[in-house]
Amino acid sequence: MSNEVQLFFLPAPSLIPLAKSGKLKVLGTSGKERASYLPDVPTPAEAGIKDFDVGPWQGLVAPAKTPSGVIDRLSKAEAIVLLLE
């Protein structure tokens, strides 16, 4: 939004208000089909990029030198949350 980043993947809930306000230009979706929440935004295939499909994913990050016990605890908690989804 400040012309510092030229390309970025964002989760849809965070970008829709920015796109509707004109603060962000959405160039495309990351799936094989148009998103129902952004029906005017093309897929990569429609934009000429073949065989592009990025599914959703989640990750956790921690500062360098985080103790291994903390990393293990976070990893176990994440596994439990993913099982509950």
pLDDT above 70: percentage of residues in the chain: 88
Model confidence band, residue 79 (pLDDT cutoffs 50, 70, 90): confident
- The more confident residue out of 63 and 61 is 63
Given a cut of 90, whether residue 20 has pLDDT beyond it is no
Global confidence as pTM: 0.54
Whether the per-residue pLDDT at 85 is higher than 60: the answer is: no
Give the whole-angstrom CA distance, residue 16 versus residue 10. 10
